[in-house]
């Protein structure tokens, strides 16, 4: 690979709990791959979100869900990979720590695009070292049903590369709702909102839970 190519490496990072991974997450990946100038899109499942409570699914299962989804996109010719940095840490990791990790393993010339929903973007001032983070990457903000972009977060301070929209029905999906469906015993209704490639893994997971 020549030096010119190295300076043009464009990396996308899509992090989250993925608890569980659902069709809305899948659609965000599709939009990112089709609309952003990316060489590689990394899925970054967290061990535990510093701003949220404990996950329903184990870190190992959530990591495996991301790996299966990445494999599905690879079959279609896209370079989608999974980073297990946060999972293997076994504790909550701040986003800036993960970005610094990526910078340590990628070429410094790489341009990083960070995907997140409007609701998460609006909490950005609460993130650890948020201003420094803004100097390290560009944000791709995903509009979700019922969410809004806080106009007080000036684009002169926070670099918004693109403001994407996804299908309204998929945008309304939330992992919180799916977890509630599972807890209430509505497994098939929840499965209908989860990519088919993950059904076998989750069936095994629930079977093991009952054993």
**pLDDT single digits (tens) 84-139:** 999 999 988 999 999 999 988 886 578 899 998 887 888 888 899 988 998 888 88
Residue 194 forms part of a structural domain: no
Please state whether 129 falls in left (phi above 0), alpha (psi between -120 and 50) or beta: left
Split into its structural domains, the chain has a count of: 1
Residue 62 forms part of a structural domain: yes
Tokens of 76: 């279609």
Q: What is the pLDDT of residue 131?
A: 86
- Which CATH number does the domain housing residue 34 bear? 3.40.50.620
Q: What is the pLDDT of residue 149?
A: 56
Cα diameter, the chain? 55
Phi, psi (5° rounding) for residue 40?
-140, 140
Residue 202 forms part of a structural domain: no
Reported confidence tier of residue 192, pLDDT bands at 50, 70, 90: very high
Residues 134-154 have pLDDT tens digits of: 888 888 888 765 555 555 554
Tokens of 179: 């977890």
- What is the residue whose two structure tokens read 């061990």? 47
3-state helix, strand, coil split of the chain in percent (to 5) is 45, 15, 40
The Cα 189–Cα 178 span in angstroms is: 9
Range of the structural domain that residue 143 is part of:
3-173
Residue 191 forms part of a structural domain: no
Residue 50 forms part of a structural domain: yes
Q: Structure pTM?
A: 0.86
């Amino acid at each position: 690979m020549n030096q010119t190519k190295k300076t043009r490496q464009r990396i996308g990072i899509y992090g989250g709990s993925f608890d569980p991974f659902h069709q809305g997450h899948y659609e965000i990946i599709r939009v990112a791959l089709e609309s952003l100038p990316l060489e590689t899109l990394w899925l970054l499942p967290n061990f535990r979100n510093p701003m949220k409570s404990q996950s329903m699914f184990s870190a190992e299962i959530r990591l495996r869900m991301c790996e299966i989804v990445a494999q599905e996109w690879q079959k279609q010719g896209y370079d989608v990979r999974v980073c297990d940095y946060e999972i293997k840490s076994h504790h909550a990791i701040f986003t800036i720590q993960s970005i610094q990790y990526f910078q340590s393993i990628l070429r410094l010339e790489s341009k990083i695009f960070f995907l997140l929903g409007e609701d998460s973007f609006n909490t950005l001032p609460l993130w650890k070292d948020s201003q420094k983070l803004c100097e390290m990457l560009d944000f791709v903000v995903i509009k979700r049903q019922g969410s809004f972009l806080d106009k007080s977060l000036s684009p002169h301070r926070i670099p918004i590369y693109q403001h994407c929209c996804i299908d309204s029905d998929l945008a309304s999906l939330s992992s919180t709702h799916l977890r509630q469906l599972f807890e209430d015993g509505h497994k098939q209704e929840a499965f209908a909102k989860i990519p088919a490639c993950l059904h076998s893994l989750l069936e095994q997971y629930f079977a093991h839970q009952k054993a």
